[in-house]
Amino acid sequence: MKKHDRERKRLEERKKTIAASVPPFEEIVRGSLFERKIKCGKASCHCAQGQGHPVTYLSVTLKGGKTVQITVPKKLLPRVQRWVKNYSDFWSALEQVSEVNRQLLRKRLLDSEPREPRAQ
Ligand SMILES: [Zn+2]
């Protein structure tokens, strides 16, 4: 195999690896999680003296600069944490594929548009 073909194969394999790591598209949320301690207001509650109850929020800044905060119930926290991570993993995968495609383009390793879908 010529060096040219080896390099192309390597980059194509790299793209397949990245594509296989992309999280499910429907399990994505943009935003960041933060915790705040809040006092519930009951005089008899321990929080009246010490620290408040920890509450987790998903905070997201929308177009136009408005920030929205949504309370995340404890039982949903693992899922929302995963969704937040998926969002950055998705962008990371986009960037990585984009980088590989730049290399394919720069190194002239691309064919012209195939007429049929390539065999896998
Ligand atoms: Zn309380």
DSSP for 58-76, written as a single string: EEEEPTTS-EEEEEE-GGG
Q: What is the C-alpha to C-alpha distance for residues 102 and 108, in angstroms, rounded to an integer?
A: 10
67-79: per-residue pLDDT in tens? 999 999 999 999 9
Give 72 Cα–ligand 1 centroid separation in angstroms: 18
- In the block, tokens 């691309």 appear at 110
For residue 52, pLDDT beyond 70: yes
Give 55 Cα–ligand 1 centroid separation in angstroms: 11
For residue 43, pLDDT beyond 70: yes
Give 50 Cα–ligand 1 centroid separation in angstroms: 9
Q: What is the C-alpha to C-alpha distance for residues 46 and 18, in angstroms, rounded to an integer?
A: 49
Better-predicted residue by pLDDT, 111 or 99: 99
Give 5 Cα–ligand 1 centroid separation in angstroms: 66
Give 63 Cα–ligand 1 centroid separation in angstroms: 35
